[in-house]
Amino acid sequence: MEFSTATNGETTCTENGFRLHSSYNPSKEAERFCNTVDCSFHPRYVLVTEPALSYCVPFLKKKFSNAILCCIRFSKEFESTNSSWDKIFYAYGKSQKTNPLLEEEIFNFMGDEGISACLFLSWKPSENPFKELYEFSWEEIKKTVLKGRSVLATRTFFSKRWAKNALRFSMFCKNTALIKNGTSDIVVCASGLSLKSDIPFLKKYRKRFFLIAVSSSLSPLIFNGITPDLCISTDGGYWAKLHLVPLCNSKKIPLALPGEASCFASILENTEIIPIFYGDGCSEEILKASGYSGHSAFRNGSVSGTAAYFSLSITSGKIFYCGLDLSFSKGFSHTQPNELEKRNSIFDNRTHTSETRNFSSEINTVSINIYKNWFSSNDFFGRIFRLSDNFKYDSELGKIKDVDWTFFEKQTFDFKSKTKPQIIETQNIFNKEQRINFLRDIVIRNISNPEWIKNALPAEAIALERCKNLCEKEKIEKRIQEGMKKFFCDIMKALGRNVAI
């Protein structure tokens, strides 16, 4: 990298013979670049790939005054201008040519809504001298956009289901509890194949830890005579609640559950429930309006991801994950027995065998890779470990260290001096009929609330935020009005109320 002084006195530079800024007037060049940018929507974010000495920043701020300005760096040489930007990403890694977590870092910062409202730009002079990093960055941007669309589509598809789940929670949940923090270590069990070899050790050291079972690991644990201190489930889909079937016969295991999660009414009525609050969404407002207190948690696409920060928040001790394989294998991908496998196997026959069914799951690795990248890209303060009986995993998980049971034994030798998190029963002062009346009132009050619209109709809400065209804006507003009317009627029907809007 060679730096020199331009004719107008500003600093300019070249890389491998390629000019990254004008040799005459870099600021004027940057202004022309910004003037040629045409954006058909109101961007919430603007992301520029390697803007070099950042001369474009003041002009971008002037043109998109409400946008958050981000850039992707290809070189360390320009870090002196990083303070001009709201957020910096790096295409290069610390020990690798490229940053394997770039996609995840962009997505974690912007989220699906932010990505849908982001304007992506390339500082053209940087494309040739940093060709490899340029192509890599735009491939990662493409992945991020596709992931954002996928998440948004999921939210759009399930949004009404999540609201109805929250209504069911409020109507049927009788016994609730909160958690008093402890100092002991916690073992979180997922249901990967490595869990099978952990069973004997879980039994051997059971007194040393507080045990949290993600819903899919509940069956194999109970089958092997291991009773968790707590089960956690977060999935709002219909089939996810099948993992909770063992709780129908075992009322002694408390269940941590967000309002939007799917759950059997019988479990809500007979099991001690710890409400989970993500800090957003109409589902949470529904629960609070019904008189429920809850435990704060971090929203994540997988129950294991939510369990990570949930566990960190209820103890000062270490967190050990068992069964966190995050990979597919030939045959079963989960430790058996598995409630979904039990159901699906009923329909196996000579022409549609279990091998065929499992193979179709094996090749669908998109969601697994998303969860793997999330665990790999997060810093858990050195408190989370992946524990197994020397299981050979497909890949590492970033800063999460893989450890064995010998390590666990040494780390937990002082378990008797530590206190486990305590589950303390709470009471809802409202009866079911009162809760239903509260639910009706809060729905009526919030039918035009922008936050509720964003939750019920996320795609339309984002389209309205982006829209510049007045005629198109009126069409979107009409779709939102009709959609919220249907949403309102569906909720009232679920509550057993016929109320016109």
CA–CA separation, 422 and 138 (whole Å):
48
Residue boundaries of the structural domains of the chain: 33-150, 174-426, 431-494
Specify the DSSP class assigned to residue 335: P
Residue 440 φ/ψ, nearest 5 degrees: -60, -45
Low-confidence ranges of the chain (pLDDT < 70): 251, 328-334, 336-366, 496-501
Question: Residue 341: its pLDDT value, please?
Answer: 62
> What pLDDT does 440 receive?
82
What's the distance, CA 281 to chain centroid? 14
pLDDT tens for residues 280-321?
Answer: 778 888 888 888 988 999 888 889 999 999 999 999 999 999
Cα radius of gyration (the chain): 26
Which CATH architecture best describes the domain 33-150?
3-Layer(aba) Sandwich (3.40)
d(CA 362, CA 147): 20
C-alpha–C-alpha distance, residues 92 and 271, integer Å:
50
- Please give the pLDDT value at position 208: 98
Q: Which amino acid is at 300?
A: N
- The confidence score (pLDDT) of residue 374 equals 87
Q: What are phi and psi of 249, to 5 degrees?
A: -105, -5
DSSP designation for 206: G
In this prediction the pTM is: 0.80
pLDDT value for 469? 83
In this prediction, residue 343 carries a pLDDT of 61
Q: Is 19 left (phi over 0), alpha (psi -120 to 50) or beta?
A: beta
First to last CA, the chain: 66
Residues with Cβ within 8 Å of residue 413, at least 6 apart in sequence: none
> For residue range 168-212, what is the model confidence (pLDDT) as tens digits?
898 889 899 999 999 999 999 999 999 999 999 999 999 999 999
pLDDT of residue 352: 55
